[in-house]
Amino acid sequence: FFHSSEWSHVFDVFGSVFLAFFMLHSSFIIITNSMSDLVDRAIDENHQFLILQSLIAHEQEYLGFDKIRTRRSGSSYYVDLFLTFERNLTIESVSESCRRIEKDLEERFPGVDVSIIPAPYLS
């Protein structure tokens, strides 16, 4: 049909350009969506709020926290809590407190990998 038409070259060029832009746009969307799963990033605000709720529920067990580090890698969530405890506590009591905080956090936020790094309070 278009072989004998003068417009065949015009339609061919426009069709090719349209197809090229469509392919570039589609590949850009695929790459940007998949990059968010490949790169570590902080977890969303709702999950950070769950972490803070758990820390508030157990605030009598520790003196303070130095920092909270959260990240999401793919579908996995990781939380590192740097908590300070009284110097006179035994390792056993600090470990029990850490286990209680970890258990509470895992109940509030299923699938999270929690690491608590205890440190003595330096006054």
How big is the CA angle at 17 (ends 15 and 22), to the nearest 5 degrees? 95
The DSSP call for residue 41 is B
Report d(CA 9, CA 3) in Å as an integer. 9
CA 3 to chain centroid, in Å, comes to 56
Same structural domain for residues 49 and 33? no
CA separation for the pair 107, 121 (Å, rounded): 28
Residues 108 and 101: beta-carbon distance below 8 Å: no
**Residues 25 and 61 reside in one and the same domain:** no
In the chain, the number of structural domains is 2
Same structural domain, 95 and 114:
yes
Region 95-117 average pLDDT: 94
DSSP 62: -
For 31-70, how does the pLDDT look when each residue is reduced to its tens digit (9 = 90+)? 888 776 677 778 889 999 999 999 999 999 999 988 999 9
Nearest to 69 by CA among 40, 94, 46: 40
Q: Are residues 112 and 80 in the same domain?
A: yes
- pTM of the model as a whole: 0.67
Range of the domain at 3: 1-38
